[in-house]
Structure 1
Amino acid sequence: MLSVPSATVIPTLPCRALDDSLPFYRALGFDVTYRQERPNPYAAVRREDVELHLFGVPEFDPAQSMHSVIVLVPDTAALHAAFAAGLREAFGKVPVSGIPRMTRPRRMQGTRGGFMVVDPGGNWLRISRQRTESDADLDGGPQDRPAEEEGRLARVVAAAARQADSHGDEAAGIRMLETGLTRHAAAPPAQRVPALVYLAELHVRTGDRDAAGAVLAQVDALELSAAERAALAADLASAAQLLLDR
């Protein structure tokens, strides 16, 4: 078999127009390294070791795109924070519904934790944490599956994320979260917060702002200790941001 140790693989992704997609990628911190309009719209973008090529198809429908790219990084939270900062600077907020959009980093059942970016062409960038030697099996590693002590709602959130974030089925994610929250109604407030915040996010994604507001009101009504608020700082910050963005 021919060895190709120095091979480079570059995904090529469709978009309706380069002027739709390039500003989005610039906001994510990518540099535009090449662009042409004739004989066909084509561009290349790069951020550190990640290189993507884009081609324009005026009649293309982003909602029908089935293209995706898996990007493995050491720290998904840090990259998400950088992406979010760039999107807020460029567009005033992080889009969480429609096309384009970006999800929050979270664990997903049976996969390494990560987040999704859907670009203006409807292409999915699936950002996932790189596997390390200290990881256990993919379906059981301590960093890939909620620990028992985190409670059953953590496993509900991971299962819902697999449907809503990884598969794009927000309705299924909402059903799972609502069922889980009802079934585990006696769960401590600190365990309910991540599930409620994620449920609110999915309602925002599906355009049900009233439902999102009602869920966020539940979050606000929960009694949490100072230590619990510190541990849930990321979730509570997301809840506050959802109130602004919805």
Structure 2
Amino acid sequence: MSTETAVPLLPCRSLDESLAFYTLLGFEQTYRQDRPNPLAALTRGGLELQLFEIPGFVPEDSYGSILIMTSDTESLFEEFAAGLRSGLGKLPIAGIPRITRPRRKQGTAGGFSLVDPGGNWLRVFRRGESEQHETDRGLPRVLESAARQGDARGDDARAIEILEAGLVRYADAPAVERVPALVYRAELEARTGNAAKARGMLLEILDMRFSDEDALQLRGDLDAARELLDG
């Protein structure tokens, strides 16, 4: 019976900084050495990874990336998010480190991404979900296309362009389709440093009136809008 195991090694500029971050995510340190080469081993449930410190390392230049497969992306996101809120006082959505919310993305499985202090991408996907999923049409498909650019590729500017065009093209789309796109649009503005514009958009969203059925369906998006506004 095969017993091989692969453990990803991720670079960082500061072992202490990255260890503190991963502790917020629920990881436990199982090993650390400071000489001759600073490194540490971490575990969380079935996840194992190691961090190694590089003097002068620039997180923005990192190509580090790992895939995490789980049966429940939403629950894992909430666990990560709770730890980040507790330790950082808010959910980091811009810069490094940051986390994206769970969304479907065009041509790939649904999930979310997290960028650690070393600039490494942790890409979380739902196990068993088709990677070739595509919504047929309309604003939901526009949102998936934008999320692929903004959340998977990190191209926020392109994601904004896609959403702007889609919101104009599907101006008559129902609220349950428009609000998720508008909330993501505001999040992207916040990500790119346009805090005032993001705030104005969020206030408009939260001032909208919905039927009870729509409000229930949009609860997660409206909660996200409130958190963005408070952040």
Matched, 1:23 2:20: yes
* Count of residues in Structure 1 that have an aligned counterpart in Structure 2: 231
- Contact 2:206–2:222 (CA under 8 A) maintained in structure 1: no
Letter in structure 1 aligned against 2:211: S
Letter in structure 2 aligned against 1:138: E
- Contact 2:31–2:40 (CA under 8 A) maintained in structure 1: yes
TM, length-normalised to structure 1: 0.91
CA positional deviation for 1:55: 0.3
CA positional deviation for 1:33: 0.7
Partner deviation per Cα, 1:15-74 (whole Å, 9 max, x = no partner): 001011001000000001111111111001110111110000121000000110001000
Q: Secondary structure at the match of 1:45?
A: strand
In 1, Cα distance between equivalents of 2:41 and 2:194: 36
TM, length-normalised to structure 2: 0.97
Partner of 1:76: 73
Among 46, 51, 66, the alignment partner of 1:49 is 46
Partner deviation per Cα, 1:145-168 (whole Å, 9 max, x = no partner): 33x5xx611111100000000001
Among 189, 196, 205, the alignment partner of 1:210 is 196
- Contact 1:87–1:93 (CA under 8 A) maintained in structure 2: yes
Among 234, 237, 242, the alignment partner of 2:220 is 234
Letter in structure 2 aligned against 1:166: A
Query: Tell me, which stretches of 5 or more residues in structure 1 are unaligned?
Result: none
Partner of 2:123: 126
* Matched-pair identity in %: 49
Matched, 1:117 2:136: no
Q: Secondary structure at the match of 1:224?
A: coil
In 2, Cα distance between equivalents of 1:242 and 1:100: 16
Q: How does 1:165-244 map to 2 (within 5 A)?
A: 165-244=151-230
CA RMSD, 1 decimal? 1.3
Q: Secondary structure at the match of 1:116?
A: strand
In 2, Cα distance between equivalents of 1:217 and 1:240: 9
- Contact 1:189–1:223 (CA under 8 A) maintained in structure 2: no
In 1, Cα distance between equivalents of 2:151 and 2:177: 20
Q: Secondary structure at the match of 2:69?
A: strand
Matched, 1:139 2:125: no
